[in-house]
């Protein structure tokens, strides 16, 4: 009895065995020790069986009835009870009513309820990614029609062709190819005499090959032209520029520069059809195809008398501008160059690739009729403003077709309208 564990004590107090380790291993060692001692003392087989059973299943002794009780649960089996209360949930807060709150909404409120620590949500609505709620815009009654009387007029729309007279597609394609082969010439430095002649209007008109008619000088600065019926499109160009980019540019003088001339119409077309002829006045950079009216090709602008439309590097149908010219009208066209609103820094040389502000104005019979800004938004079919930005010399151009009689006036004292 002294070799085994007491039935009422823990198995760790086994005599002759270690107090720690596996209980089964300790029982096995006790069995071997019992067998060895039983053999030495000539113990009966019944005692050996009883000793083996008591070593493996310690418990109370058999009763007098011979029925053994079931062994008790080994004490080395440890069981864990679940914690009290419901299982925890991640980021779950319980709202507590009647409990004190803290001023800091980002610090949770700890409360001890039923053995659990629960968190109350902060005051106020949930955050919205730091977005500040703004006041809605004021209500606008869309049924009220706004007053557009003070708004500027809408831009003119371009046309595919003129309603009266149009050149052939062959002439247009030939002019485009010619312009591609002959780029605009760079501005040249004029002599003082040339510059003075341009300012005083002492210029001549160069007679092109396409011009069929007469061209005579009335006096200094006044030229009279007369074409025959059926004449094709042609363009008379002044012998000297009216605007010298080297000397007249506002980038150099820091002053505005205005160029202007007038055309007086004596007759248009034949006696039976006035639409058989008309004139166009404008400006162009050279070289320019003289079988095309001014305004149709690059580096040119003009107002045409047959449809009253304006053309700016526009080889199509132009844009609405004024009424058609009539016999007896004196029409004038000018450009005023000035520095842009945000000019570059001034230096001794003219800035490169910087456009001047160019305002075109048109007069009829001594009164200002209207104008436009050359650098305004152009139609998709236009050719841009190359040559008209103040970086090239500009010449006076007077175009005609059909049978017409007219005068080109370049002297200031003979103008009906005087530029400021």
Quick: pLDDT tens for 134-145.
Answer: 777 777 776 766
Burial of 94 (0-12, 13-18, 19+ CB in 10 A): exposed
For residue 317, what pLDDT is reported?
84
> What helix, strand, coil percent values describe the chain, rounded to 5?
15, 25, 60
Q: Where are the beta strands (DSSP E) in 80-221?
A: 109-113, 116-120, 205-206, 213-219
Q: What tokens does 116 get?
A: 């659990």
**Residue 149 scores a pLDDT above 80:** no
Residue 114 carries which DSSP code? T
Give the list of residues 6+ apart from residue 317 with CB closer than 8 angstroms, or none.
158, 159, 160, 161, 162, 166, 309
Q: What percentage of residues in the chain have a pLDDT greater than 70? A: 61
Question: What would the pLDDT profile of 262-300 be if each residue is shown by its tens digit?
Answer: 999 999 987 666 568 999 999 999 999 999 999 999 999
Averaged pLDDT, 31-59:
55
Q: Can you give the pTM of this predicted structure?
A: 0.62
Q: How far is residue 280 CA from its own chain's centroid? A: 40
Q: Rounded CA gap, 416 and 420, in Å?
A: 13
- Could you tell me which residue, 134 or 172, shows the higher pLDDT? 172
pLDDT of residue 41: 52
- Lowest mean per-residue pLDDT among 23-27, 147-151, 280-284: 23-27
62-66, 89-93, 220-224: least confidently modelled range: 62-66
């Amino acid at each position: 009895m002294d070799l085994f564990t007491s039935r009422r004590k823990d198995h760790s107090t086994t005599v002759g065995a270690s107090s720690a380790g596996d209980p089964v291993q300790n029982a096995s060692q006790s069995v071997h020790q019992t067998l060895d001692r039983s053999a030495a003392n000539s113990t009966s087989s019944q005692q050996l069986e009883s000793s083996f059973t008591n070593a493996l299943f310690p418990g109370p002794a058999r009763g007098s009835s011979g029925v053994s009780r079931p062994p008790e649960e080994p004490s080395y089996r440890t069981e864990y009870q679940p914690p009290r209360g419901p299982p925890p949930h991640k980021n779950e807060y319980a709202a507590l009513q009647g409990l004190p709150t803290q001023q800091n909404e980002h610090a949770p409120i700890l409360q001890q309820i039923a053995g659990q620590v629960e968190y109350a949500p902060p005051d106020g609505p949930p955050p919205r990614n730091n977005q500040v709620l703004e006041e809605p815009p004021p209500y606008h009654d869309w049924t009220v029609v706004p007053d557009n009387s003070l708004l500027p007029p809408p831009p003119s729309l371009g046309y595919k062709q003129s309603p009266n007279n149009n050149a052939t597609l062959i002439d247009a394609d030939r002019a485009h190819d010619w312009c591609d082969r002959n780029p605009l010439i760079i501005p040249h430095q004029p002599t003082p005499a040339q510059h003075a002649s341009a300012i005083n209007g002492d210029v001549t008109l160069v007679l092109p090959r396409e011009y069929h008619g007469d061209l005579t000088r009335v006096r200094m600065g006044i030229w009279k032209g007369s074409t025959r019926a059926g004449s094709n499109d042609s363009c008379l160009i002044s012998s000297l520029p009216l605007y010298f980019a080297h000397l007249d540019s506002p980038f150099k003088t820091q002053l505005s520069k205005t160029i202007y001339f007038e055309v007086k119409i004596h007759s248009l077309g034949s006696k039976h059809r006035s639409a058989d002829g008309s004139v166009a006045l404008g400006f162009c950079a050279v070289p320019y195809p003289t079988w095309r009216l001014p305004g149709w090709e690059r580096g040119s602008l003009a107002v045409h008398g047959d449809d009253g439309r304006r053309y700016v590097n526009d080889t199509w149908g132009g844009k609405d501008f004024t009424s058609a010219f009539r016999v007896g009208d004196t029409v004038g066209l000018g450009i005023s160059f000035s520095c842009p609103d945000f000019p570059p820094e001034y230096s001794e040389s003219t800035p490169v690739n910087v456009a001047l502000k160019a305002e075109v104005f048109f007069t009829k019979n001594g009164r200002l009729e209207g104008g436009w800004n050359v650098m305004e938004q152009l139609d998709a079919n236009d050719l841009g403003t190359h040559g008209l930005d103040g970086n090239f010399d500009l010449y006076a151009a007077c175009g005609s077709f059909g049978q017409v009689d007219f005068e080109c006036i370049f002297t200031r004292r003979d103008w009906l309208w005087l530029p400021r």
